[in-house]
């Protein structure tokens, strides 16, 4: 079974993010990683391959810096990697990305497309659903368990107020939720081998993506400052607890 | 004024809070709004949602949930009636259907808005990005504009609309992915994303046996939702569905009570847009205190039992 994994490279969760002008200061980001949910999706794809054979292809849209994440995917166990190259990634919205990804895989047949449920930078979770809808493929978001039979995929996922099980025909797009698996650390051998594997580069300008952006990014700003808080005083824990409940009830009327 | 459709939700035949919220937002933005409800017992909820301004309530009966079918039905309605803005709750369901609706309409979707306004006929929103370390302002250029709104981020207003019911059809045949079973979470508690108050526990609670007395019992006194940090979930103390933060749920309650939580950035990403934050932690240097409205620097095992007694008195229990 051939599996495609969508990889988004994002700033490390711990990285300092600053806004200068009305833009994110990307040069100031110390470390970039595979978005955590995408890493879970990649791990799932590799586990499926290890169990049932086939190949795992990792794909990412961006400038040459995303090759670092594709190499990381190799190190974890991906067989091939595609970079959809663009130097103005920020100008693309989710439709642009979805369209570019679909164009880049034209002529290839993946039975399963795995992705994280959302990127940890913008928390949208749109691209996999847009791709599936454009192609009229089955799509199941927020997967907690994936079982692939010959003729259908059985996916357990988080749903409104509970859990649901879906059956989908192929091809199917699945987005990974937390709890699907625990991603592995790449082995030293994997890391060494990842450096020699070729990355297929496709220029977005040659893919014929139509795209004028449908969403305008007006600008970024620092988070609004939270009003100054105060420490609840008291001689002991009991006094502080009483003073806190009083403050919740009377000062902010939250109870 | 642009024509707005709010996409409500029902569960167990009851109107969900998110339906009131998106309908209120639509009414406030454009002065009039219509609401679509799909699910079992949709028409029966029309009067309820009309209290928040719904002029027309489109009711679609569906025996089972299907993001695929719901999105097609809503997109067809938007096309048919010429809606220019579609407001959807950023719930599990809303995230499942919003991108599909926009794709069927050849348009675009903006997700998880915490602030929303109109700039002429176009929607302008703000939302936190990068775990809340920055905010971005976005504007829709395509029409119809589909926007999902973070639950609990907008006020609910009571302003009656006509609430006239029109039925719509939801076609559940020929689905690519079909729901074959559903099991509701076994809890009587309010859902954590809809709760006005959330009580959440971190590693400071020391063990799974303390989650009940220190977190759940206090939450139940206030009718609050319950959450936990990733550390508590990873330790296996509670189910991961309770996790709040980067790889869990995002909540935006009026009051968030963090018990024994240090305040890692990954956790803050999931609760940073709460209106009031309370931290109870014996480490005065814990980062959570930097964002707290009220902080109690003390041992939670001495603080929480007294709070519970005080809350019993407050609520007359």
Give me the CATH number covering residue B268. Answer: 3.40.50.1220
Residue B136 included in any domain: yes
Q: Which residues of B touch A219 (CB under 8 A)?
A: 136-137
Instruction: Calculate mean pLDDT across residues A26-49.
Output: 95
Of the partner residues B100, B136, B295, the one whose CB lies closest to the CB of residue A133:
B100
Asked whether residue A92 carries a pLDDT value surpassing 80, the answer given is no
Task: Specify whether B76 is located in the same domain as B155.
Answer: yes
> Could you give the CA distance from residue B240 to residue B237 in angstroms, rounded to a whole number?
9
Residues B60 and B109 in one domain: yes
CATH topology of domain A2-206: Rossmann fold (3.40.50)
- In chain A, residues with a C-beta closer than 8 Å to the C-beta of B181 are 164-165
**Residue B156 belongs to some domain of the structure:** yes
Cis peptide before B144 (omega within 30 of 0): yes
The two three-digit tokens of residue A127, written as one number: 């691209």
**Are B160 and B30 part of one and the same domain?**
yes
For chain B, report the end-to-end CA distance as a whole number of angstroms: 49
User: Is B209 found in the same domain as B163?
Assistant: no
Non-local (6+) Cβ contacts of B148 within 8 A are: B87, B88, B89, B90, B94, B95, B98, B109, B110, B111, B112, B113
Q: Let me know: does B201 contact B229? Beta carbons within 8 Å.
A: yes
> Is B221 in the same domain as B126?
no
Q: What is the ipTM of this complex?
A: 0.95
Domain membership of residue B293 as a residue range: 197-315
Radius of gyration of chain B from its Cα atoms, rounded to whole angstroms = 21
Distance, CA of B208 to CA of B202 (rounded, Å): 11
- The reported pLDDT for the residue numbered A172 is 98
Same domain, B269 and B156: no
Per-residue pLDDT of chain B (317 residues; tens, 9 = 90+): 999 999 999 988 899 999 999 999 999 999 999 999 999 999 999 999 999 999 999 999 999 999 999 999 999 999 999 999 999 999 999 999 999 999 999 999 999 999 999 999 999 999 999 989 999 999 999 999 999 999 999 999 999 999 999 999 999 999 999 999 999 887 788 989 999 999 999 999 999 999 999 999 999 999 999 999 999 999 999 988 899 998 889 999 999 999 999 999 999 999 999 999 999 999 999 999 999 999 999 999 999 999 999 999 999 98
Cβ pair B278:A244 closer than 8 A: yes
The answer on B152 and B22 residing in a single domain is yes
Instruction: Give the closest-approach CA distance of B34 to chain A in angstroms.
Output: 23
Statement: residue A211 has pLDDT above 70:
no
B 141-160 near A (Cβ less than 8 A):
141-142
**What DSSP letter does each residue of chain B carry, written as one string?**
---EEEE--EETTEE-HHHHHHHHHHHHHHS-EEEEEESTT-GGGHHHHHTTTEEEEEEE--SS--HHHHHHHHHHHHHHHT-SEEEEE-SHHHHHHHHHHHHHTT-EEEEEESEEEEETTEEEEEEEEGGGTEEEEEEE-SSSEEEEE-TTSS---------EEEEE----SS-SEEEEEEEE-S--SPPTTT-SEEEEE-GGG-SGGGHIIIIIHHHHHHT-EEEE-HHHHHTTSS-GGGBBSTTSB----SEEEEES----HHHHHHHTT-SEEEEEES-TT-GGGGG-SEEEES-HHHHHHHHHHHHHHHHT-
Instruction: Report the predicted TM-score, pTM, of the whole model to 2 decimal places.
Output: 0.94
The confidence score (pLDDT) of residue A89 equals 67
The answer to whether the CB atoms of B292 and A229 lie below 8 A apart is: yes
Per the CB < 8 Å rule, is A223 touching B272? yes
d(CA B257, CA B216): 12
A226–B291 CB contact, under 8 Å: yes
Residue B191: inside a domain:
no
Of B273, B272, B255, B279, which Cα lies nearest the Cα of A249?
B255
The reply to whether B227 and B150 lie within a common domain is: no
State the smallest CA–CA distance between residue A26 and chain B in angstroms.
12
DSSP state of A108: -
Q: Are residues B84 and B126 in the same domain?
A: yes
Is B14 touching A (CB cutoff 8 A)? no
8 Å CB contact of B130 and A137? no
Residue B190 lies in a domain: no
Residue B179 lies in a domain: no
Range 237-276 of B in CB contact (< 8 A) with A = 240-241, 243, 246-248, 250, 254-255, 265-266, 269, 272, 276
Distance separating alpha carbons of residues B298 and B311, to the nearest angstrom: 19
Residues B12 and B159 in one domain: yes
Closest by CA to A159, choosing from B240, B182, B238, B37, is B182
Alpha helices in A127-197 (DSSP H): 127-135, 188-194
Of A142, A221, A236, Cβ closest to residue B135: A221
Examine the domain organization and report whether B227 and B293 are in the same domain.
Answer: yes
Looking at the domain assignment, is residue B186 inside a domain?
A: no
CATH number at B49 reads 3.40.50.620
* Residue B73 located in a structural domain: yes
**Model pLDDT, residue B68:** 98
The predicted structure's pLDDT at residue B12: 83
A-B Cβ pairs (cutoff 8 Å, strict): 246
- Number of independent structural domains in chain B: 2
Query: pLDDT at position A174, please?
Result: 98
Residue B181 lies in a domain: no
């Amino acid at each position: 079974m051939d599996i495609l994994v969508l990889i988004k490279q994002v700033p490390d969760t711990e990285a300092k993010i600053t806004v200068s002008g009305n833009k994110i200061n990307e040069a100031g980001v110390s470390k970039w990683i595979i978005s955590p949910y995408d890493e879970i999706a990649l791990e799932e794809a590799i586990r499926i391959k290890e169990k049932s054979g086939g190949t795992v292809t990792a794909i990412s849209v961006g400038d040459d810096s995303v090759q670092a994440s594709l190499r990381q995917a190799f190190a974890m166990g991906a067989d091939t990697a595609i970079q959809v190259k663009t130097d103005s990634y920020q100008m693309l919205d989710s439709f642009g990305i979805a369209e570019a990804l679909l164009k880049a895989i034209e002529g290839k047949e993946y039975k399963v497309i795995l992705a994280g449920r959302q990127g940890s930078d913008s928390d949208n979770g749109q691209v996999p659903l847009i791709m599936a809808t454009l192609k009229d493929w089955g799509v199941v978001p927020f997967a907690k368990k994936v079982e692939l039979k010959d003729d259908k995929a059985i996916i357990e996922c988080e749903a409104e107020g509970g859990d649901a099980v879906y059956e989908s025909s192929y091809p199917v797009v699945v987005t990974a939720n937390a709890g699907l698996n625990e991603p592995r650390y790449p082995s030293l051998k994997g890391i060494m081998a990842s450096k020699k594997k070729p990355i297929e580069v496709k220029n977005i300008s040659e893919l014929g993506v139509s795209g004028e952006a449908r969403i305008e990014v007006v600008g970024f700003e620092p988070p609004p400052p939270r009003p100054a808080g105060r420490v609840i005083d008291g001689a002991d824990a009991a006094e502080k607890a009483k003073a806190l409940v009083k403050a919740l009830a009377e000062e902010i009327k939250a109870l | 004024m642009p024509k707005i459709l709010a996409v409500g939700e029902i569960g167990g035949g009851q109107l969900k809070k998110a339906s009131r919220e998106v309908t209120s937002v639509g009414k406030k933005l454009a002065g009039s709004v219509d609401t679509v409800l799909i699910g079992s017992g949709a028409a029966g909820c029309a009067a309820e949602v009309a209290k928040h301004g719904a002029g027309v309530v489109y009711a679609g009966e569906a025996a089972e949930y299907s993001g695929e079918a719901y999105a097609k039905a809503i997109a067809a309605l938007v096309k048919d009636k010429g809606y220019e803005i579609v407001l959807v709750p950023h719930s599990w369901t809303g995230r499942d259907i919003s991108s599909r609706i926009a794709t069927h309409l050849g348009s675009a979707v903006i997700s998880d808005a915490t602030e929303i306004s109109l700039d002429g006929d176009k929607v302008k929103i703000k939302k936190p990005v990068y775990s809340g370390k920055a905010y971005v302002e976005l504007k829709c250029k395509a029409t119809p504009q589909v926007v999902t709104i973070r639950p609990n981020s907008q006020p609910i207003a009571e302003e009656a609309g006509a609430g006239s019911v029109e039925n719509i059809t939801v076609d559940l045949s020929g689905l690519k992915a079909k729901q074959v079973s559903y099991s509701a979470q076994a809890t009587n508690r309010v859902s954590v994303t809809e709760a006005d108050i959330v009580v959440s526990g971190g590693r400071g609670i020391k063990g799974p046996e303390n989650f009940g007395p220190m977190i759940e019992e206090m939450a139940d006194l206030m009718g609050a939702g319950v959450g936990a940090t990733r550390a508590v979930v990873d330790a296996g103390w509670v189910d991961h569905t309770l996790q709040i933060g980067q790889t869990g749920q995002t909540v935006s309650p009026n009051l968030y009570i963090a018990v024994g939580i240090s305040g890692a950035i990954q956790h803050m990403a999931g609760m940073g847009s709460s209106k009031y934050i309370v931290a109870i932690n014996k480490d005065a240097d814990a980062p959570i205190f930097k964002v707290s409205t009220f902080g109690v620097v003390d041992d939670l095992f001495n603080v929480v039992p007294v709070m519970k007694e005080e809350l019993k008195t407050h609520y007359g229990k």
